[in-house]
Amino acid sequence: GAVVSQHPSWVICKSGTSVKIECRSLDFQATTMFWYRQFPKQSLMLMATSNEGSKATYEQGVEKDKFLINHASLTLSTLTVTSAHPEDSSFYICSATHPRQGNYEQYFGPGTRLTVT
């Protein structure tokens, strides 16, 4: 158990367009999902915390109007990168907390590599 999927796994888009990334927990219900961004050879940087049915909590320095997060159900969260620019090119990874052990464990999706041209 504890499988998280992301779609798409790889996307190239033109500057100025928007891209939506989906994160799904396949075999469990996740009340909380997290969105991270990872640049090459760097660590994971938390962008926002997404709770089902409520507004996402964004980390300092992350533009909420640019990175729209929707957590419509206990198994689906989406991240939309609006008006994407080349500097938004990165590896975007979501995670979901599993109900085991008081929701402490985070399981990661396979990631989405975004390239903005």
Partner 1 sequence: QQPVQSPQAVILREGEDAVINCSSSKALYSVHWYRQKHGEAPVFLMILLKGGEQKGHEKISASFNEKKQQSSLYLTASQLSYSGTYFCGTGVTGGGNKLTFGTGTQLKVEL
Question: By CB under 8 A, is residue 111 in contact with partner 1?
Answer: yes
Question: By CB under 8 A, is residue 105 in contact with partner 1?
Answer: yes
Cα distances from 69 to residues 14, 39, 45, 99, 102, in angstroms, run: 21, 20, 16, 22, 24
- Diameter over CA atoms, the chain: 43
Strand partners, 6: 23
Asked if residues 68 and 82 have their Cβ atoms less than 8 Å apart, the reply is yes
Site mask for partner 1 (CB under 8 A), range 12-51, x = bound: --------------------x-x-x-----xxxxx--x--
- Closest CB to partner 1 among residues 18, 103: 103
Q: Which stretch binds partner 1 (CB under 8 A): 14-22, 66-74, 76-84, 109-117?
A: 109-117
Asked if residues 36 and 99 have their Cβ atoms less than 8 Å apart, the reply is no
Give the total of residues touching partner 1 (CB under 8 A).
22
Q: Which residues bind partner 1 (CB under 8 A)?
A: 32, 34, 36, 42-46, 49, 93, 97, 101, 103-111, 113
